[in-house]
Structure 1
Amino acid sequence: MAIKRFGVSLEDSLLEELDTYVDENGFANRSQAIRFLIEKNVAERKWQCNHVVAGTIVIMYEQEKKEITARISAIEGMFQQVVLSSTNHYLAGNHCLHITAVMGEAHVLTELADKLTTIKGIRHGKLVMGRAD
């Protein structure tokens, strides 16, 4: 249920920054942007408090490097309690997009993502989490 409350005020410079943020990110209005920022802040606080979160770890690498695939499998095996699934998508130019769905305490997911994204040969890696409750 949405509750409308009034009385929030912002300095002109901060309001201009908010409008720029709304435009650059394609929000329909300021309220939508503010809701997004609040939810993001709540999720990040929960990550620090080790609440249960869910998310994905996305990594890209060249598929010709077979040792990377073996290393990914070994690391995910060590974290099987938080790995929900993983999949590979083979893209043009011998690139592999590896996506791992995860759920667990934020610090464990962060540790897993750090281990995966720092494998030698990984071209890009990112963890995205959100609250799971």
Structure 2
Amino acid sequence: MAKETLVRFGVAMEGSLLAELDRLVDERGGTRSELLRDLVRAEVTKSQVHAGAPAVAALTIVYDHHVRDLTERLTEFQHELGDKVNSALHVHLDHDHCLEVVVMRGPADELKRAGDKILATRGVKHGGMELIAIGPPEKRPGEHTHVHYHDGIPHVHSHTHDHDHDHDHDHHAHHAHHAHHAPAKKRAARPAAKPKKR
């Protein structure tokens, strides 16, 4: 892709706002122009997220796990989203609080509704969601995704029908589990030994 030519233009702003801009430049490094370009790109990305558009979202919440039924409600919300949940991270911060990060993919309006519903839940103290417009997901032939839960924490796996697994759980334990529960196969009876000729 050919490199675009930079266009110079003047920007007018209050002195106090310019001071804040310079403070951000000092914190992040770079130049005023680079920071302004980053801010404009971020706003353009947000403006491209319209209802029904393919999008990804990262939802981050901090909640009080002592609030009655809150953990169960958060788990139910993620169950309702189904295969739109791509990944989740759960961290115990202290005696009272947990951090949860949920990565989702799907129509932008559905992700926004789900995020707003979770953020408005009683017991969620802090949170936010970053929504980014993307293209449609690329899947390998025969691939499907499913979510399962251990102790209320979601785990997401992608599989192809040829068993080309795209996850990191212990295959030996997985197959041993199925072998343990599989019905025992009957052994074929061995023919009786013939007496030896003398």
- Into which bin does the TM-score normalised by the smaller protein fall? 0.7 to 0.9
Aligned to 2:99: 97
- In the alignment, which residue of structure 2 is the partner of 1:122? 124
Q: Which residue of 85, 100, 116 corresponds with 2:87?
A: 85
Tell me, yes or no, if the aligned pair for 1:68 and 1:121 is still in contact at 8 Å: yes
Structure 2 distance, partners of 1:36, 1:94, is 37
SS at match of 1:48: coil
Match of 1:5 in 2: 6
Q: Say if 1:49 and 1:5 are closer, same or farther in 2 by CA, change over 3 A.
A: farther
- Higher helix proportion (structure 1 or 2): 1
Q: Give the percent of matched residue pairs that are identical in Structure 1 and Structure 2.
A: 18
The one-letter amino acid paired with 1:4 is: T
Q: Which has the larger radius of gyration?
A: 2
Matching residue's letter, 2:84: V
Runs of 4+ aligned residues of structure 1 deviating over 4 Å after TM superposition are: none
SS of the aligned residue for 1:5 comes to coil
The CA deviation at 1:35 is 1.9
Give distance in 2, aligned partners of 1:48 and 1:19.
34
RMSD of Structure 2 on Structure 1 (CA): 2.3
CA 115–45 in structure 1, closer or farther in 2 if over 3 Å, else same: same
Distance 1:51 1:31, change over 3 A: farther
Say if 2:71 is the partner of 1:73: no
Q: CA–CA distance in 2 between the matches of 1:103 and 1:58?
A: 15
Q: Normalising by structure 2, what TM-score?
A: 0.58
Whether contact under 8 Å (1:62, 1:94) holds in the other structure is yes
Gapped runs of 5+ residues in structure 2?
136-198
**In 2: Cα distance, 1:44 partner to 1:128 partner:** 9
Contact in 2 for aligned 1:47/1:105 (Cα 8 Å): no
CA distance in 2, matches of 1:122, 1:37: 29
CA contact (8 A) 1:61 1:97 kept: yes
Structure-2 residue corresponding to 1:24: 24
Per mean C-alpha deviation after superposition, the further-off stretch among 48-57 and 116-125 is 48-57
Rounded Cα–Cα distance in structure 1 between residues aligned with 2:22 and 2:114:
33
Distance in 2 separating the partners of 1:35 and 1:128: 19
What is the DSSP-based 3-state SS (H/G/I as helix, E as strand, rest coil) of the residue aligned with 2:125? strand
